[in-house]
Amino acid sequence: MSLLTRKNIAFPIPVIAKGFELFAKERPCGIMLCSVHLPLVKVAIRYLVENGYAPKAAIAGAHHQITAVALWGSTQTIPAIATGPTVLIKMRTILLEGATMVVLVDGAYGESISPNTFLLANQLNADIVFFLAELLPGGTIEVSFYESCVARSGLVANEACKQQVKELEEYAKRIVCNYHKN
C-alpha cells in the first residue's frame, strides 16, 4: 500500500468506521487526534479526509524531510510539521484556531508514548480523540475514533496526562493482541 501511495496511485480500501460522529460536535479549543505507530493507522486519517473532515496538520518525525503526510490509497495529503524545538508552539497555534492536529505519540512502533501532546492538549482545554485501525478477518479495515474518557474529568494536567497515556496504551495493546491471534 505504501509503494502505490508513494507512486501517487489511488486504490480503494474497504473501511467501516466507529465513532465518526465525534467530529460533528463543536470543538472550539481544537482536537488533538492521537494514535501510535500501528499498521493501518493512516487509513483512519484517509477516512476522515474522504468524509469531509481534513485535519489541519500532522506531526512528522524530524528525520523525515517531508512537508505532507500521505494517506494510503489516496492522492490526497495533509500538511506536515516536523518535530523539533518549536513543534509544540506550532501545535498550540493550530489548536487555538479550533483546528485538528494529528499526532502519533510514540517515536516508532513499540516505543513509549510521549506525554507532551497530552500535556499541551490539557493545558489548552483541547479535546483528545484517539484513532486506531484494525484489519478484520474478511479483509475490511475497521477504523475507530474514541474520545478520551479522561477529558474534562477535573484532574490536574499531569494526572490526566498519565491516565490518557495509559488509556491509549490499552487501546493499542488490544489491537496488537488481535493481530497476534490472527
| pLDDT computed for residue 70 by the predictor | 85
| pLDDT computed for residue 113 by the predictor | 86
- Torsion angle of alpha carbons 116, 144, 142, 21, nearest 10°? -140
| pLDDT computed for residue 142 by the predictor | 95
| pLDDT computed for residue 23 by the predictor | 95
| pLDDT computed for residue 33 by the predictor | 96
Cell numbers given for 39: 499498521
| pLDDT computed for residue 149 by the predictor | 81
**Whole-angstrom distance, CA of residue 72 vs CA of residue 75:** 8
Domain boundaries, the chain: 2-181
Q: Which amino acid is at 99?
A: A
| pLDDT computed for residue 143 by the predictor | 96
Low-confidence ranges of the chain (pLDDT < 70): 62-65, 151-155, 182
| pLDDT computed for residue 128 by the predictor | 92
